[in-house]
Structure formats: structure tokens, C-alpha cells
Amino acid sequence: MIEVELKFRLREPEDLLARLIARGAVARDAELEQDVYFAHPGRDFSQSGEALRLRQSGGEAILTYKGPYLDRVSKSREEREVRLAGVGEVDGARTVLERLGFQPVRGVSKRRTTFQIPSEDLEILLVLDDVEGLGLFVELETLAEDAVWEAARERLNGLACELGLSDPERRSYLELLLLADSEGRT
């Protein structure tokens, strides 16, 4: 499956929330997500565009691989997730990764509120992220089969316009935080 995703820095959350309510979006409870990203021992993920992440959120633990970006506009790419048997497995998973040569790069902490956007043929989520050290962002995302991910991306682009979102941000939170770290802003 392809995760089709657009991300935007959010400057006026009140306007966005009003538009979401008008569209009938349904909010889920906010959750704290704590991620640790890992560097591959033999290739540079910052060059390949890949990512390996270990996430703790709401009593769950998930190991995620993200493949290289499929275009230069969105953050669309292959995504594979493995749900671990609970947050108690995070330390064990981290130890396995480190013994295989993967090294932790940096953590990313955020408070995430997820909204379900009504749609007839796609499950579209809008997530509002308050990222520690970066501020507010919004992501539009859906999962699509390989053959139709570009059509899904265009649907998300149209929805972004309807919601008043512009100037997509392709860099990951990890990239933005590493840049802020290097500039002494975190």
C-alpha cells in the first residue's frame, strides 16, 4: 500500500477547525506520540528518503518502514507497519534494531488529534500535530493501491485547497527538527 500524504504548517487553526466542522469531520481523542527514528548501518536514509521509526502511542507500539518518496510534490510512499504486542515491547524492539547496527537518530514528540473526513470512496484522515520544538502542522492522508495513488493524491490536493491549506511541506518532522537543532532553535 502507498501512504498518500500532504503536510502543511498551520498558522490559523481556528479557520481550519471551522471548515472541518462544516464538512462534518469527526475528531478522535488527542494522543501523545513518541517516535524514535533510526539510521541504517549501510545506507543513508537522508539520501534515499527512507525512514525507520519506532512509535509509542496510546498503549500501542508500532515499527514502521517508509520507502522513498514517489514524487516531488507530496510525501507519498510505500509504508509498512508492524504492530508490536504493546508498549512493553518497545525496549526489546529497540535492542534488536541496535544489535543489527541501526542507531537511534532523534526522537520526535507530538500531540496528535485525528479527524475522519467524510468521503464515499476513500478513508481520508486529517491529523493536527503539535510537534515539540516545531509547532502546529496539519497532514492529509489516505492509503491507496499502487495503481491509484496519484488519483488519491489529486483528491487530497483538492481537499487541501477547499480547506485553505497551501504551501506543502515535504520535509519530515525529523528533518525539520535536525535542522532546528543545527541552528540552535531547539
Please count the CA atoms within 13 angstroms of the CA of 26 that sit on its side-chain side.
Answer: 5
- Kind and range of the H or E element at 66? strand 60-66
**104 vs 121: CA distance, rounded Å:** 38
Torsional sign, CA 95, 98, 102, 107:
positive
Residues 76/5, Cβ–Cβ less than 8 Å? yes
In the numeric block, which cell numbers belong to residue 42? 549501510
Residues 16/140, Cβ–Cβ less than 8 Å? no
Catalytic residue status for 69: no
Per annotation, catalytic residue among 37, 65, 69, 173: 37
Q: Enumerate the active-site residues.
A: 37
